[in-house]
Structure 1
Amino acid sequence: MEYTLKKSLGQHFLKDESVCRRIVAALEEDPFERLVEVGPGGGALTKYLLPLPGIDFRAVELDDEKVVYLEKTYPAIRGRIIHQSILDIDAPFDQPFTVVGNFPYNISSQILFKVLEWKNTVPVMIGMFQKEVAQRITSKPGTKVYGIVSVLVQAFYEVEYLFDVPPESFNPPPKVVSGVIRLKRKSDTIAMASEKKLFTLVKAAFNQRRKMLRNPLKGLFEKEILQDKIFDKRAEQLSIDDFAALTFKMR
């Protein structure tokens, strides 16, 4: 049985077995009992995940055709597919679970924010992104690609760029190189006034990333606080600790 590719869903299916094995090997470096695969598609990775011993497995797949294909090809997956968009569901488990997937490119950043929503129950995530997105997530202050997603993810997770995946590992080959990254929940979260304040601050700061912070942030702080030298800097020059510390001074 064959299936069709849907451009609208950002589908590029992994076909390189060695990449699948590397992802599974990375997964197995941290113990887990529950696993959620996002966007199993044609099941290239799924076939390695289903046999993992003693794991409660779920797959989240929106595409009707793929659900039928997966259930026919991998009978063990029956009853384990959540047939919805990852963006619309509640956490699949109440207890800690690991997230893995070759994420659909067009919603990969949104998937990341979903993981942030679930961070109290997601200790580890291993995901494949377009390389430039993967680099953005793992980038450090002072770099051109450091931005909202870098700060918000790294405030809660240790991030690690694992390896590149070339276009020919997929069908159809995307026009870009992909990258696999790992997120591991920090044992100590940085002190901040509130997560809501951090999100508001970081988004406002990077909204006008070329400008000194005093401009984009003037609505969030009292005038006298804005005199501080830190507001002479641009958003990309601030560390995650700097942003977290600033949340205590916000209105």
Structure 2
Amino acid sequence: MVQDPSPLQRLRPKRAFGQNFLVNEGAIRTIVDAALASPAPRLLEIGPGPGVLTERLLADGRPLWAVDLDPEACALLRERFAARPSFHLLEGDAVRIGLPEGPPWSVVGNLPYNAATPILARMLTEGVPWERMVLMFQLEVAQKLMGEPGTKAYGPLSVLAQLCARLTRLAKLGPGSFRPAPKVDSAVVLFEPRAEAPTPSERKALLAVLHRSFAHRRKTLANNWQGVLSGEALSEVGLASALRAEVITPSAWLSATRSLLIHHPEVFPT
């Protein structure tokens, strides 16, 4: 008797969707265990592909929403899991697809490499309720998320992520952990929300401040804000105009953004 091919064999990875399917059993267990350790009443999986994580997440019994852009992957997921009442499929782009309202999620995903940053930015800025996130990134992106002031890795993504969550790297994975093997290493990052995190409106304002301040990394804040705010105005909100953005701590960025919202709301896009 010829055995049916496994889901991984049935789904062809597509470069256009940034697909690299996880095959490392230890990493699969690590991700699933971390996601299910959350008390959140529902699960959100981004980029399930053939459903390797999905199958184990569903065994927990909590309702799970899976978001995937690949029609072929969605067809396979429907075939495998549609009969399970706790499974819900959302076919579309995780950057912009509507998500059902309700209580917090435990978010999990082997994120497509070509969309990982915008997906994370959405989770952090659009008020999506989450109690925990366990997400796979290229190692370089994970290093940026956890970058410290004064280092090359430190930037807008570092500041936003660290103000919103406590970050823990759970695993580092080589190319052989995936099919097809990517040309880079990867990392699994755990996000746990901070009680003192900025509000959604503050986060969007913060990103606007950061993108202008980091526009030219080797230039001072005075140069990056030239024509918008004077050096004196920057100093009044706690940003020394002679400094470069990369040396300022996340807490100082948040304090400055809150001051700018009060004293210089005109600098923010409407």
TM-score w.r.t. structure 1 length? 0.91
1:155 Cα deviation from its structure 2 partner: 1.9
How far, CA to CA, are the matches of 2:83 and 2:123 in structure 1?
A: 26
Residues 156-178 of structure 1 show CA distances to partners (whole Å, capped at 9, x for unaligned) of 11112111012111110111110
Select 1:173's aligned residue among 168, 173, 181. Answer: 181
Partner of 1:124: 132
Partner of 1:239: 249
The answer on 1:135 being equivalent to 2:164 is: no
* Structure 1 residues 2-151: aligned runs within 5 Å: 2-53=10-61, 55-76=62-83, 80-119=88-127, 121-151=129-159
Residues 4-54 of structure 1 show CA distances to partners (whole Å, capped at 9, x for unaligned) of 12110001011122211011122233312111000100111111111113x
The alignment covers a number of residue pairs equal to: 250
How far, CA to CA, are the matches of 1:45 and 1:97 in structure 2?
A: 16
Contact (CA 8 Å) 1:191, 1:245: kept in 2 or not?
A: no
Partner of 1:224: 232
Contact (CA 8 Å) 1:135, 1:161: kept in 2 or not?
A: no
How far, CA to CA, are the matches of 1:69 and 1:94 in structure 2?
A: 27
Contact (CA 8 Å) 1:192, 1:245: kept in 2 or not?
A: no
Residues 76-109 of structure 1 show CA distances to partners (whole Å, capped at 9, x for unaligned) of 4576110111112123332211211000000000
How far, CA to CA, are the matches of 1:92 and 1:220 in structure 2?
A: 39
How far, CA to CA, are the matches of 1:234 and 1:117 in structure 2?
A: 25
* RMSD (Å) for aligned C-alpha atoms: 2.2
**Counterpart residue type for residue 176 of structure 1:** V
**CA 1:193–1:234: 2 relative to 1, 3 Å:** farther
Percent identity among equivalent residues? 34
Partner of 1:160: 168
Worse overlay, 140-149 or 226-235: 226-235
**CA 1:152–1:51: 2 relative to 1, 3 Å:** same
Specify every segment of 5 or more residues in structure 1 that has no aligned partner in the other structure, as ranges: none
Residues 44-80 of structure 1 show CA distances to partners (whole Å, capped at 9, x for unaligned) of 1111111113x11110011111111122233445761
1:191 Cα deviation from its structure 2 partner: 8.7
How far, CA to CA, are the matches of 1:142 and 1:192 in structure 2?
A: 27
How far, CA to CA, are the matches of 2:199 and 2:60 in structure 1?
A: 37
How far, CA to CA, are the matches of 2:98 and 2:161 in structure 1?
A: 20
How far, CA to CA, are the matches of 1:141 and 1:45 in structure 2?
A: 35
Partner of 1:205: 213
How far, CA to CA, are the matches of 2:243 and 2:109 in structure 1?
A: 37
1:192 Cα deviation from its structure 2 partner: 11
1:227 Cα deviation from its structure 2 partner: 5.7
Specify every segment of 5 or more residues in structure 2 that has no aligned partner in the other structure, as ranges: 265-270
